[in-house]
Structure formats: structure tokens, C-alpha cells
Amino acid sequence: MIALSDLVFRWPGQATPCLDIPRLEIAAGERVFLHGPSGSGKSTLLAILGGVAVPERGRVELLGQDIVSLASHRRDVFRADHIGFIFQQFNLLPWLSARDNVLLPCTFSARRQAQAGDPPGEAVRLLERLDLAPSLWDKSAAELSVGQQQRVAAVRALIGKPEILIADEPTSALDAPRQQAFIDLLLTEAATVSATLLFVSHDQRLAAHFDRVLSLADINRAATGDES
């Protein structure tokens, strides 16, 4: 499902690479916790997986397709079609309603629109499933609490059944009791749509319940811990 080999990446102007990953493989449907301290290159790795950053060397195979060899606009389409992202915070466009935020992937990707079947109906189904009250659906995203925003972001990542879910510190803005609840929710939903889940965090306490726990330092030969 996800296969990296001989990946080397450095930001423009940097002398040494910040990522040098000889091999990383994640199977379809696998739910992986990737651990690494802040600044260890986690976000860079996610940008490469999303096709937003391009490595200077190596293969990045997603669903059997080497995305490095794709033209940049094909990578953008690939990302829209196959990957759902959830970020740390401020996932939503503040001037759109929760419902419209959820529907965004279906406007960017014909594939996800098709897979959602009836996108508005699917949006409602998922919003209900993630326990968001109907009174919140048409509120603008800026009016929602942080916890509500993160759940709307999860719904948006899930709509249209993308094969890959990438979550970048999605719980760091939540308080402790809600963190585990959110992770459990994500694990369940990923399993329901049989998506591959890559969950990235610096907080190792959250690693329970995942199929596999990886440390970026173990797979990244360039790791020194203090790079940006």
C-alpha cells in the first residue's frame, strides 16, 4: 500500500538531507503509529507522501503507483483521490459551514464524489456517526470547539473512502481524556472503510491500540533529532 525505498530529501539550501529512509512498507488496511520528536522530519515525510514535496532520490509508491514519477498536477489529483489528511489544528476553512467543509474533497475529486455515492447524504451519515449534533452542521467552522473541529476534519478525511488516511498530531490540541476517544474513533472508522492509517505523533503514550508502532529515528538514517 505504502512503500518507500532509498528515499532522500533535503530542503532547499540545506547541506545534509533531513530524510534518508532506505525502506518503509505499510500494508493495506494496516494502522500504523509513527513516532518522532518535534522537528525530526515527520511533517516532511507526510508532505512527500502527499506528493507536495518531491524527494531528490528514491521511490514513493502508493497503491502501486510511484508518485515521484508523476507530473506535479497528477500528484495533486492523486492526493485528492486517495489520501485523507487530518492536521493538528485549524483543519477547516473558517468561512465555510461544517457540512461544506466535509464536502470539500468531493468537489476536488470526482473519484471521491463517486465513491461517496450521494455526498450530502454521506456527509450527514458520517457527521452523525462521529457524534456531531445536527445543530452544528450548518454553523461556520470557526464557531465550533476545537474538539468538534477535529471530528469534522476526521469526517472530511473519511468521506469518499480514500485508501490512505494520514493524521498529523490530530490530538495535540485536545485535552487528555478526549485524545484517546478521538484516536479510538479514528481507528474504528479507518477499519470500517478498510483504509490504511498513518498516525504521526511525538506523544508515545498514544501508541496503544495500533497494529504497529514505528519510530522515525529507527527508519531514518539522517535522524539527528534537532533538524527542522
The answer to whether residue 217 forms part of the interface with other proteins (CB under 8 A) is no
| Distant-in-sequence, close-in-space partners of 78: CB < 8 Å, separation ≥ 6 | 51, 62, 65, 67, 70
Q: Render 114-166 in DSSP notation, one character per residue.
A: HHHSSHHHHHHHHHHHTT--HHHHTSBGGGS-HHHHHHHHHHHHHTT--SEEE
| Distant-in-sequence, close-in-space partners of 185: CB < 8 Å, separation ≥ 6 | 130, 151, 154
CA 4 and chain centroid, separation: 17
The answer to whether residue 9 forms part of the interface with other proteins (CB under 8 A) is no
- Per rule CB under 8 A, count of chain residues that contact other proteins: 30
What minimum distance in Å lies between the beta carbon of 114 and other proteins? 15
The answer to whether residue 208 forms part of the interface with other proteins (CB under 8 A) is no
What minimum distance in Å lies between the beta carbon of 192 and other proteins? 22
- Rank residues 181 and 222 by Cβ distance to other proteins and give the closer one: 222
For the window 42-61, what string marks contact with other proteins as x by the rule CB under 8 A? Answer: -xx-xx--x-xx--------
Interface residues with other proteins (CB under 8 A) are: 43-44, 46-47, 50, 52-53, 72-73, 76-77, 79-81, 85, 87, 90-96, 104-105, 107-109, 168, 228
